[in-house]
Structure 1
Amino acid sequence: MHLRLRHLCAAVAVILAAALLSPVTPATAATADRFGFAYVKDPTAPTWTPLPAAYQYGSWTPGLTATGGKVALGRFLVRFPNIGLGARGNAHVTAVARDGRFCELVRWYGSGTDEVVDVQCFRPGGTPADTPFTVLWTFSSGVLPAGVGAYASAQVTSNLLVQAYNSTGAPVTVATVGVGIYAVRLSGVGAPTGELSGNVQVTAQQPNAQPRRCKILRWGASNAEVVVYVACHDPGTGAAMNSDFTVSFHRERSVYASFGPPRYFGYLATPFAGPTNYSYPLGVGANGFGPTGIGTSIVKFPALHERHTTAQVTAIGDGPSYCTIQELWAQIGSDAVLPVACFANNGRLQDNQYSSTFSSSA
């Protein structure tokens, strides 16, 4: 691990030492029907180059490999083998860059028996740029019993809900409340106590590969209903702009909806506390974070770096600010250290709140 990251880890040692842990009751194992995640380290690789083995995993047949390749400036296709379901499911992407580059979804689709996720990345302002990124795709069906966590997702296209999933079987609805602002209601997925819990991720989607960014404006809970306000912006001007997007919520489950496996996953949202800071198997309050400079910070997920790993980050708050994974997370023993960078619309570092999530394959 880089010496600099060792120094960054010390910044949160005190926070971690004070973290309040609570016991976790093992849940009944249940998984997404199909899923895959990967990390694109070299965004200039030709199709179909195998992607880094330590950062890819999926429900495909053992021995198969996720591959990918550049098809245009800033544009990259990721192929998940033998799990194809066409345009169904949900996807997310996060840039891995310290200079303000960002990424969006273009589309996902079936190719033979495989699932392909089409990603476009940009420099600040919206010029296409080759960029490393993390990506996931997942599809779920059926209803989970109470007491085993919850997962819900939605895809919004042309201001309309085109597909959704809710592990409780309850409704998912979307309403436009202003230019570029959407209220996504996920019924039944919240904590039984009614307190804010779980983790939210949002990704802009643009089928013509024009630059867009979407984020969490805010989210709240009323009894077991979770309401996520999504805000989207034009990266050129920073103005609010209608956009397609994907959104997902996971509580006491991984970001790709599965549990048992994985038995090592966690999430943390920086403006909040309590069960928005959660780890399995360590419980509520196990993860720590701390600033390392203007616009930069690290999140430490103790005991969660097991086998293949992935992470996603989404900014929270007003305005066109956004967040990325600053560089690939580090492993210290079994701990994962995730560096996060946040930016103003012009790509300059800026302090900002964010929602982060980390999952393993095991």
Structure 2
Amino acid sequence: MPVLVVVGIVLVDVAGVSGMICLPLLAAAPALAAATNGSRGVLCVGLLAAVLGAVLGTGEGVPARELAAVLCALLAVTAASALASALRSRRERVLAAVRSVAEAAQHALLQPVPETVGPFQVAVRYSAAAAEARIGGDLYALVSTPHGVRLIVGDVRGKGLPAVSTAALVLGVFREAAYDEPDLLAVVGRIERSLARNLGSDDFVTAVVAGYPRPGLLEVVNCGHAPPLLISASGDVVAVEPTHPAPPLGLRALSGQTPRLQPLPFADGDQLLLYTDGVTEARDHTRAFYPLAEGVARHVSDDPAHTLTALHDELLAHVGGRLHDDAALLLVRKQDVDEPVAVAPRSTLPGHSVTRSAHRVTPPECTRMP
């Protein structure tokens, strides 16, 4: 493009327009080159423009003093553009390094989840509001322990590096306690005590912690978080409202309330979707919230990865392409006993009261797998 600008100015000048009108326009070429080329490319474009300007000015009889002023201005613009290009290239290298570190931090914090964990098929989708950072304050983890499969999805109050630090603390304690504690409430208690020691008085974490201690039963502890969605094998979507609401993690001392286990029947083919408020509070141009339950009913299938891909694409379309808050989705599906178990892991860049939203799913993709 910078070379085309030079060629265009030369052609206009050769066509008969006065040299003093066209020659100063040659400075646009190195200025444009600074946005797309390295400093060497800028210098080459500037030198080309200066040589052609000198040839044209001399051939057209432009006074020496005026021609020298134009060429000096052109060389000054070239030098400034080369410096700007060098600084831009340096910033791009620094940004690439920072993104690489952020990606490594994300993999350390939000470890990739395999396609299958124990008896479950699993899929995760995560989007940070700060796209350049690739990490945020939402958290998820799913581990297989001697006490069954356990998982957590949570949302740290606030954004930025403090939220990331808190998320790392919660996940570290959860992964350790999930292996050590036979009781799911003891896992939640370990997280609560750790946050009480390390968080400020205004900080907290909403979270849902769940476990699968024995076939056919999930245990759920909801600490001030959005209710998970239970998707039956027949396609009904159910919001699992907590029977005993508990405060967010880090605020138990202020409320005096203690969380309780909520048993949840979980048969073959059932699915549980855990999510953060970045999903349900996403708004379109009319300020309407994204209807997650309806979206699940439209896209649910026997493949959790397919379901979350469709949901995530629809969510981005709803907000116009970019989320303004961190958003996490974790979907687990209890495999049928006669279903083949996938062994190849796939990483991903996780008596009761319910409120029913009667959605019956009938698309062909929701038929049971053989």
Q: Greater helix percent: which structure?
A: 2
TM-score between the two structures when normalised by the length of structure 2: 0.27
TM-score between the two structures when normalised by the length of structure 1: 0.27
